[in-house]
Amino acid sequence: MKPFIYNQLPSRVVFGVGALDDLPREITALGAQRALVLSTPEQKAQAEDVARRLGERCAGVFPRAVMHVPIETAREAREEAKRLGADCAIAIGGGSTTGLGKAIALDSGLPIIAIPTTYAGSEMTPVYGLTEGGIKKTGRDARVIPKTVIYDPALTLTLPIGLSVTSAINAIAHAVEGFYVQDANPVTSLMAEEGIRAFADGLRRLVRNPQDLDARSDCLYGACLCGAVFGTVGGALHHKLCHTLGGTWNLPHAETHTVVLPHATAYNAAAAPEAMARIARALGTTDAAQGLFDLAQSLGAPVALRDIGMPGDALDRAADLAAQSPYWNPRPIERAGLRKLLDDAWHGRRPA
Ligand code: NAD
């Protein structure tokens, strides 16, 4: 075996149907007294339900989380936590709400309990994003990792199928890149393979019956594993491309990951054969890139950039931007190869 370094994440995970009932115990375990509950406006009712369960231990509800964490919202939430005397925050929702929790933690050190209700996996990572003056800045900081993550699959029963599938493929992308990033190691690769397997299996059952709690449990388990992979070892070409496309053309986050992933995988295939074999095995197929494309298509997810708002005349500029500031990737970043990748993704071609 080759030598390796593996950094263990410092968070505590509580997983199971009904795990939301453990919330008061988890607040106590953190040594906290009063929590500010965060959510998006769409999930305000869910946040209020959490507040009711907490009674006196709830300092208030802040239902104003939005995509991309505008710095103004983060400041408002921090002020609200201070004003209400909260000594911890609870983020109930997807990556956008978890992102708000992280922004609060970054500045104030307030401990965060994340209760994920999508499959994107942000709750297991020290990666944060903040938007200031229209520009999204991302970074890694150990202070933002939620101290406790409560995974209750019952909370994802209301997640529409479209977002269930695309947020799951966003998380699968974390695992795919985890196999071949510079810091890849046997421990995170084990989690990545199991995470993809759990998702592929869970998603296929989920689209047949969205109320299948067992399938939803498999998907949330996949989110935990794939999120932890990204949180530990980071990403490469695929994440850089999605960040560039999403940031410059304001494309929807999870859908962009879903469309680009098979093509970024195909780009790296010859340079990372061992990774490809493990991805294919986890998907129950023989070719990783084609398997990812077929999975997305069979689940009814978008497979073409042109269908999610990417202008066809912007592909040259996108290739230029993605080729700038070289970063580590198993296959060197070549502009011509990227341009072809983008062309395939824009048309929604099955990788060759
Ligand atoms: P989201 O949090 O933006 O949620 C999308 C919508 O779905 C919101 O209106 C939300 O309220 C609603 N929703 C969430 N759960 C629901 C449920 N169970 N039932 C009904 N509605 C529900 O979506 P997302 O895909 O989880 O997160 C995307 C964001 O997360 C992006 O900004 C992305 O950058 C970030 N992200 C960050 C990381 C990281 O490691 N930092 C990883 C993945 C994603």
Residue 91 confidence (pLDDT) above 90: yes
Q: What is the CATH number of domain 161-347?
A: 1.20.1090.10
pLDDT over 80 (residue 326): no
Residue from 300, 312, 299, 317 nearest 345 by CA: 312
25 alpha carbon – ligand 1 mean position (Å): 26
Q: Give the span between the Cα atoms of 269 and 275, in whole angstroms.
A: 8
Task: Tell me the whole-structure pTM to 2 decimals.
Answer: 0.98
Q: Where in the chain is the domain with CATH 3.40.50.1970?
A: 12-156
H/E run at residue 205: helix 186-208
Burial code of 294-310, b = ≥16 C-beta within 10 A, e = fewer? bbbeebebbbebeebeb
Pocket lining: 117 vs ligand 1, CB cutoff 6 Å: yes
Mean pLDDT value across residues 236-254: 95
Q: Is the pLDDT of residue 82 over 80?
A: yes
Q: Does ligand 1 come within 6 angstroms of the Cβ of 125?
A: yes
95 lines ligand 1 (CB under 6 A): yes
Q: Does the beta carbon of 195 lie inside 6 Å of ligand 1? A: no
- Rounded to an integer, the average pLDDT of 3-26 is 97
pLDDT tier at 15 (50, 70, 90 boundaries)? very high
**What is the rounded CA–CA span in Å between residue 117 and residue 307?**
26
Average pLDDT over residues 268-274: 98
Which pLDDT value is given to residue 187?
98
Cβ atoms 239, 172 nearer than 8 A: no
CA dist 77 → 31, 99, 162, 227, 334 (Å) = 21, 12, 29, 25, 43
107-147 tens-digit pLDDT: 899 999 999 999 999 999 999 999 998 888 899 999 999 99
Please indicate whether residue 120, judged by its CB atom, sits closer than 6 Å to ligand 1: yes
Mean pLDDT across 232-249: 95
pLDDT-above-90 percentage for the chain: 96
**What number does the ligand 1 atom closest to the CA of 125 have?**
40
- Residue 98 CA to ligand 1 center (angstroms) comes to 8
Instruction: Report whether 289 contacts 350 (CB < 8 A).
Output: no
Amino acid letter, residue 24: P
Which fold would CATH assign to domain 12-156? Answer: Rossmann fold (3.40.50)
User: Is the predicted pLDDT of residue 61 greater than 80, yes or no?
Assistant: yes
Instruction: Characterise 112 by phi-psi region: left (phi > 0), alpha (psi -120 to 50), beta (else).
Output: beta
Phi then psi for residue 90, to 5 deg, are -115, 120
Q: According to CATH, where is 1.20.1090.10 located in the chain?
A: 161-347
325 pLDDT tier (thresholds 50, 70, 90)? confident
Q: Closest ligand 1 atom, CA of 170?
A: 43
User: What is the 257 CA–ligand 1 centroid distance (Å)?
Assistant: 13
Q: Is the CB of 163 under 6 A from ligand 1?
A: yes
**3-state SS assignment for residue 65:** coil
Residue of higher predicted confidence among 305 and 247: 305
Say yes or no to pLDDT of 52 above 80.
yes
Give the Cα separation of 63 and 46 in Å (integer). 10
> Which residue, judged by its Cα, is nearest atom 21 of ligand 1?
159
pLDDT of residue 73: 97
| Pocket perturbation via mutation, ligand 1, pick of 164, 253, 256 by most ligand atoms within 8 A of CB | 253
Strands 58-62 and 35-38, how do they pair?
parallel
254 lines ligand 1 (CB under 6 A): yes
263 has a pLDDT exceeding 90:
yes
**What pLDDT, on a 0 to 100 scale, did the predictor assign at position 136?**
84
Q: Is the CB of 116 under 6 A from ligand 1?
A: no
pLDDT at res. 327: 85
Residue 134 has a pLDDT of 82
Residue 118, ligand 1, Cβ within 6 A: yes
pLDDT reported for residue 135 = 84
Q: For position 249, what pLDDT does the model report? A: 95
Question: Which pLDDT value is given to residue 133?
Answer: 87
β 112-116/148-151 pair status = parallel
Pocket test for ligand 1, best of 96, 156, 211, 219 (most atoms within 8 A of CB): 96
Which residue's CA is minimally distant from atom 37 of ligand 1? 122
Residue of 11, 43, 216, 220 to mutate, ligand 1, most atoms within 8 A of C-beta: 43
pLDDT in tens, 154-210: 999 999 999 999 999 999 999 999 999 999 999 999 999 999 999 999 999 999 999
Nearest CA owner, ligand 1 atom 22: 159
